[in-house]
Each structure stands twice: as structure tokens, then as C-alpha cells.
Amino acid sequence: MSDGIRRIVALSVLLLGTGLLWVAGRTTDDAEKADNERKGAIDEARERAASNDPRLKGAYRYDRGGWVYVHLEGEPAAVGFQHGFLLAAEIEDAFPAIKAQMTHSTRRDWDFFRNAAKEMLWPKIDEEYRQELQGITDGLNARSGSHLDVYDIVAMNAFEELPDYYVAWLDKREKTANAPNLKSPGNCSAFVATGSWTKDGKIVIAHNNWTGYMAGERWRIIFDIVPKNGFRMLMDGFPGVIASDDDFGINSDGLMVTETTISQFEGWDPNGNAEFVRARKALQYAGSIDEYTNIMLDGNNGGYANDWLLGDRKTNEIAQLELGLKAYKLWRTKDGVFAGSNWARDPKVIKLDTPQFNPSDMENSPNARRVRWEQLLNDNKGKLDVDLAQKLLGDHFDTFDKKDEANERTLCGHVDASPRGVAIWAWGPNYPGGAVQGKASDSTMAQQLRLFARMGHPCGADFLAKPFLAGHSDYAWQEPFLRDMPAGPWTEFHAGEIPVPQR
Ligand SMILES: [Zn+2]
């Protein structure tokens, strides 16, 4: 079924549903009917007026391979407005899922997160990003009539750092009674390679995003942003969020960026700058590994602490920035490979920032995947390219049990298939999470602002929500939000490409 037909069918179902509701409610008086008609007319007029807004100039979107590509350009407020307007449906869909996840895991209400956004994060956000975040809110409201305000949007942008970093730190500091079990997440498998390790001697970078499926199946935006200041960016991302956040991006000055989180990280600085702001700023403004490092270090709040894997196609140099809060370390080389699967490696970072992490427990997911990366990267030294990277991201070899089996220890993660879950991330048995999408690029592609991306498990397997929920009542709370996550094809995206513009 083509997307067009699918949309028509969906619309027909919606209209039929509305009609049935109307029939069911016929006993109500004509006043209500008139009210509804008036409301419909207002909605229509609002959308019509908004679609002529001059701030939308140059912006467009299209859907491909399970992804939504958006091109945004101009002043910060305009970039935000275009984002909110073009992705209004996706933001309206993602917001309740993120809100449910944040409030469920922390046992804090949404006002708590709004206040944290307003009192703690907002005062330190650069003016440029304040305007963009306000723009997202304005664009969303103009398109959909949503009542979300900028603090809802800021809290949503911080969905990785507020629950598992800030609240975990706060609960410990305040000795919260019956505090929930919050752990920094283990997001992603990735590598960056250069020199004698790759087929063409230039940089290859690849990443699969690990997260709960509820968020991950919505992590399906390709952002092409031409900001007024700084470099053009092509990155994957989440609706309503200004950073890639998982993270995978390239900029027009030659920087190639990805990361994996540091498992069992502890710490937060309430006076620091939000991680989502620093990460966005670094991709937008850094033209070198040093500049990237400096931006990430400036106002480091400890949120969403990552091992950043970086490449600079201008110098053919790659780097790993292990960014703890109390310690950090930068490794760099023009002939080598850095891999990530949620483990810290610097002894000082481990001691000061991840005191609970055990680098020699080979049964846990980060260490088991570290062993697999070492095997695969060594076996393929000199052969690494984007094609091969796509295959490696879908690998299912469990190095602890020494067998092919998709589970929590494989580079392509399927924790829903594991009765063990991942305790160090507070993911229970059969937690509905794992690798939710993958991306890959190389120096040549980065020069042309191109990347490959696959939605869903990088191995190509589908996740089906209904049978999963039927068998795992622990996760019944996700039922309103958890959906099927069908795998799409590996799909190429190119900054500036205009197939069929649609609004
Ligand atoms: Zn898989």
C-alpha cells in the first residue's frame, strides 16, 4: 500500500469513527453540534493561516523508509517554528509517551519536570536555543492547537538527562524514602575507524541506538538544519528535540559525531548547562575535535554522560572523548578504531564517575559487546566501509554464551528476548528495549552531507507490540504507547534533497 493510500485509509477510518461518535451522541442538543462545527472551522482557519506563515519559508518534509526527513533553515526562531509545525503530529504523538516514561520511572509528576526545566535548565540555555525551543512551541501550537508551553518542550528535550541523572542524584542527596531504582541508561553500540582499519583509509562511522522501544520507535526523524550561524547539520533525531540525542550527526565543516552512554554513571551538577544544549551546540559550531571537546566541557552538567566518538574528515583523525563529570579523557589517532558499547575505560573516570561499574564482569551487556566489537573490528581490519558497518550493527553473536542469539548482549540488542534483562540499567526481564535504529556514514559521504539510516532493529527483525504485551504484564503500563516497530530498509539521506515536498 502506498503512503498516499495509507493516509486516505487512515483518514477514512478517522472520519468513520467520528461519524459513529456523532451518531452515538445524537441525543445531545444542537448546541453541541454547532459548537463542534465552530471548533472545526477554527481549527481549519488556524492551520490555513499558519501554513502561510513567512517563518516556514524554505522548510519542507518528506517520508521515506520509515523515517521523516525535515529540512529547516534560517533564524533560530524560524528553525524552531518549522520544526514544531512540520513535526506537529509526531511531537503530539511522542510527548505523552515521553511524559509517561519519565513520570513512571521516577514517581515524580510532570510539574516536577516542568519546574526543573524552568528553574534549573532554562536560565543557562543560550539565547539562540531559547528562541529555537520557543519556536518549536509556537510552530506546534500554530499547527495543532496544542497547549504545550516552552517548559513542556524543554523538559521533553531533557528526557535523557532529567530522569536517570538529575532525579537519581536528587533522590540520593535528599535521601528520598522508597526511591525508585534509577540507573543511567546503556544507550547504543558504535564505532569510528580510520587509516589502515578502513577500506579506503578514510573515516567510517556507524551507530545503532539502544533505548526503550516506546521512545525508540519514535526516534525516526532525519534533520537537515541550515542555521543562520554555524555549520549545516544532518543528523537523526527525536520529534521536538533540538539535539540528535542518540546521537549521530555530521556537519558541513567535516565533523562526524556519535556516542554511546557510560553505564552506571552517577553525578549531576545543577549549575551546569543541559547536555542536550551542549550536544546541539557542539555539532553546530565545532569544526575540529578540540572545538567539539571544549564545547562539551563548557558547563558540563554530567547529564547523559557519554563516550563521544568523533571524526574530522579534514584531518582524517578520529577521537574518543570519555566525558565523565569529575573526570574525562580524550584519546585520538589517525590510524585506529574506537568502539563503544556503554563501558567507561579510563581508570580515573571509572573510579570517580562510575564507581559501581565492573569492567571484568563479562556477563553484562556492555562488556560482552565490547568483546564482540574487538573480534569483529580486528577480523575486518582494512575492510571496514559503510556496507560492512551496516552488517556489523545487526550482529547477533553473544560472546558470553558463545552462540548466535539476539539478546541483551548482542551488538544489535533485543532485550525483550532476554529473561535476564539488564540489571545495571534497571531494565527488568524481557524489557521492551534494545537497538531501535542504525546509521552509518564515511568521509566521502560526510563531505556531501549524506548518511544511511535504517529504522527498526538494524538486523531487519520486526518488534510486534501486541504479542509482547500479552506475554509480559509487567509492561502493561506501556500499552497506550507501545507500538509495532517494523524494520525499514537501509535508506540513504542527502542534505538538501527535495523529492516530493509536502506540508
Ligand atoms: Zn537484531
Element counts in the chain: helices (H) and strands (E): 17, 17
The Cα–Cα gap between 306 and 304 comes to 6
- In the block, cell 590510524 appears at 335
* pLDDT at 48 (0 to 100): 79
Average pLDDT over residues 344-369: 97
Average pLDDT over residues 371-392: 98
Ligand 1: distance of its center to the CA of 103 in Å?
29
Ligand 1: distance of its center to the CA of 363 in Å?
19
Q: What sign has the CA pseudo-torsion 439, 441, 445, 446?
A: positive
- In the block, cell 585520538 appears at 332
Could you give the percent of the chain with pLDDT greater than 70? Answer: 94
Cα 211 versus chain centre, distance? 8
Q: Are 343 and 367 in contact (CB under 8 A)?
A: yes
pLDDT digit string, tens, across residues 239-275: 999 999 999 999 999 999 999 999 999 999 999 999 9
Ligand 1: distance of its center to the CA of 395 in Å?
7
The secondary structure of residue 352, as a DSSP letter, is: H
The Cα–Cα gap between 59 and 70 comes to 7
Ligand 1: distance of its center to the CA of 410 in Å?
8
* pLDDT at 500 (0 to 100): 60
Q: Could you please report the per-residue DSSP string of 66-114?
A: TEEEEEEEESHHHHHHHHHHHTHHHHHHHHHHHHHHHHHHHT--HHHHH
Contacts for 210 with CB less than 8 Å, ≥ 6 apart: 185, 186, 187, 188, 189, 216, 342, 413, 433, 434, 435, 436
Ligand 1: distance of its center to the CA of 306 in Å?
23
Nearest 10 degrees: CA dihedral of 48, 54, 55, 56? Answer: 60
* pLDDT at 1 (0 to 100): 42
* pLDDT at 8 (0 to 100): 41
Q: Are 362 and 401 in contact (CB under 8 A)?
A: no
Range in 18-22, 174-178, 299-303 with the lowest mean pLDDT: 18-22
Q: Are 453 and 65 in contact (CB under 8 A)?
A: yes
Ligand 1: distance of its center to the CA of 396 in Å?
6
Q: Are 206 and 389 in contact (CB under 8 A)?
A: yes
Over 80: is that where the pLDDT of 5 sits?
no
Ligand 1: distance of its center to the CA of 394 in Å?
5
Chain-wide mean pLDDT for the chain?
A: 93
Quick one: three-class SS letters along 246-258? CCEEEECCCEEEE
* pLDDT at 25 (0 to 100): 45
Dihedral-angle region of residue 259 (phi above 0 means left; psi in -120 to 50 means alpha; beta otherwise): beta
**Residue 43 pLDDT grade (very low, low, confident, very high; cuts 50, 70, 90):** confident
Q: Are 134 and 151 in contact (CB under 8 A)?
A: no
The Cα–Cα gap between 494 and 233 comes to 11
Q: Are 214 and 97 in contact (CB under 8 A)?
A: yes
Ligand 1: distance of its center to the CA of 311 in Å?
26
Over 90: is that where the pLDDT of 75 sits?
yes
Average pLDDT over residues 95-107: 98
**Residue 49 pLDDT grade (very low, low, confident, very high; cuts 50, 70, 90):** confident
Over 70: is that where the pLDDT of 132 sits?
yes
* pLDDT at 3 (0 to 100): 46
Ligand 1: distance of its center to the CA of 425 in Å?
19
Over 50: is that where the pLDDT of 6 sits?
no
Ligand 1: distance of its center to the CA of 342 in Å?
18
The model scores a pTM over 0.75: yes
Buried b (16+ CB within 10 A) or exposed e, 472-487: beebeebeebbbebeb
* pLDDT at 41 (0 to 100): 82
- In the block, cell 540513504 appears at 492
The Cα–Cα gap between 45 and 344 comes to 54
Ligand 1: distance of its center to the CA of 459 in Å?
4
Nearest 10 degrees: CA dihedral of 374, 442, 62, 459? Answer: -20
pLDDT digit string, tens, across residues 77-89: 999 999 999 999 9
Ligand 1: distance of its center to the CA of 180 in Å?
30
Contacts for 5 with CB less than 8 Å, ≥ 6 apart: none
Average pLDDT over residues 131-148: 97
Ligand 1: distance of its center to the CA of 217 in Å?
14
**Residue 28 pLDDT grade (very low, low, confident, very high; cuts 50, 70, 90):** low
Ligand 1: distance of its center to the CA of 387 in Å?
17
Cα 491 versus chain centre, distance? 18
Q: Cell numbers at residue 83, please?
A: 520544526
Task: State whether residue 7 is helix, strand or coil.
Answer: helix
Average pLDDT over residues 354-378: 97
* pLDDT at 42 (0 to 100): 79
Ligand 1: distance of its center to the CA of 43 in Å?
43
The Cα–Cα gap between 345 and 50 comes to 50
Question: Any idea how long the chain is?
Answer: 503
Ligand 1: distance of its center to the CA of 27 in Å?
53
